[in-house]
Structures are given as C-alpha cells and as structure tokens.
Amino acid sequence: PEAMPGYDDDPTDDVDPALELGLRLVGRGQGRDLLSYPSALIGSDATKGEEVTLYVTLTNPNAAPRAFRWEHEHVGDGDDDALLVGVEPAEAQLEARGELGDSVELALTVRGEAAGLLSRELLFSVAPFGNPVILPLQLKVVGPVLAIEARRLDFGLVPLGETRVLTLTFRNLGKV
C-alpha cells in the first residue's frame, strides 16, 4: 500500500513511525436543572388588597454558571388576573459551585385583589441553556365576613298601602 503523508516506513531512519493526530470535540451537555425550594408556594388567609411576602431559593447544582430571569408576562393555564406578583431579584447569575451550588433567595410580593383561592404559575427562563423553572403559587384571600345584628325582623301587621321602616345593622367580623 501507498504510504500516508508524514509516515516513513524506512527501518534505517531514526524517526518514530507514528502519525500525530489532533482531535477536537465540540458540543455541550444539558446539565442539571436549577432547583427551587420549596417547589411550590402556598400563602393562606391574606385579606383582600394585603401584600404578603413569600420566599423561595433557587440553586445551581451544575459545574457551570447559569443565569435565570423571571418571565413576568407569562400566563399559565388557570392563572388568576386578581393575583398580583412581584419578584426580587427578577434575574441573577448563579455561579458554578458543583454539588453545593450557588443559591439566591427570591422575595415574592403577592397581593390578591379578589377573595378566594388564587393561583399563578411563575416561569423562570434559564441561560445559556437548561429547562425553565416553573413555580406554582397559590394564595388564599379572604374578604369581609358580614353578620346581621338582629336575629329576626318583626314587621308586625302592616295594612295594605302603609309603609313600615325597620333598621337593619350589619357588622363586619372580618379584617377587610
């Protein structure tokens, strides 16, 4: 067979008959997802219009840095418009520290504008690559609790065409 360029099969030479080959691998791995603790947030018994602060920690368990950003315009299935949310910090860089991971504590300020169990799905995008973090959030919002002072109203006998006026008093037993 023909000799390859750079290969010398002459046994009398002092040259090593080896061919040097360089190999460069290019690619990237997915890595592990950012971790959130807790994995879901549930606030309870907030009054309508009251601001409540909840906390969540995001951790990077990778050997490479990751950045996240809260996608505040994301609307998930079943999201309630009456649940207003703010996140601080809304974006950050998490450095690489291996298994221990770099962490950041996020403060979520939430406010319910309607009574009931309100839900939102918070989405955090991850860069340069990685799956987004989805954080379910629920807040139980209570409204006013009204009670009537009188147990019964007695109009008595009212002849046809006459008017009888009674006073009905309501009390708010709730905080709103």
For 71-127, the pLDDT digits (tens) are 999 998 889 999 999 999 999 999 887 666 789 999 999 999 998 999 999 999 999
Cα 42–Cα 45–Cα 46 angle in degrees, nearest 5: 90
- Is the pLDDT higher at 113 or at 145? 113
Q: Which residues of 72-108 are buried (b: 16+ CB within 10 A; e: fewer)?
A: eeeeeeebbebbbbebeeeeeebeeeeeebbebebeb
Mean of the pLDDT values across residues 121-145?
A: 91
Mean of the pLDDT values across residues 148-159?
A: 87
- Is the pLDDT higher at 147 or at 122? 122
Q: Report the candidate in 119, 105, 113 with the shortest Cα–Cα distance to residue 57.
A: 105
Tokens 């009888």 belong to 164
**DSSP designation for 151:** S
**Main-chain phi, psi angles of 108, to 5 degrees:** -105, 120
> Quick check: 76 and 123 in contact, CB under 8 A?
yes
The CA distance from 111 to 79, in Å, is 14
Say if residue 89 is preceded by a cis peptide, omega within 30 of 0. Answer: yes
| Cβ-based neighbour number of residue 67 at 10 Å | 15
CA 48 to chain centre: 22
DSSP helix/strand/coil, 84:
strand
Residues contacting residue 50 through CB under 8 Å, at least 6 positions apart: 111, 112
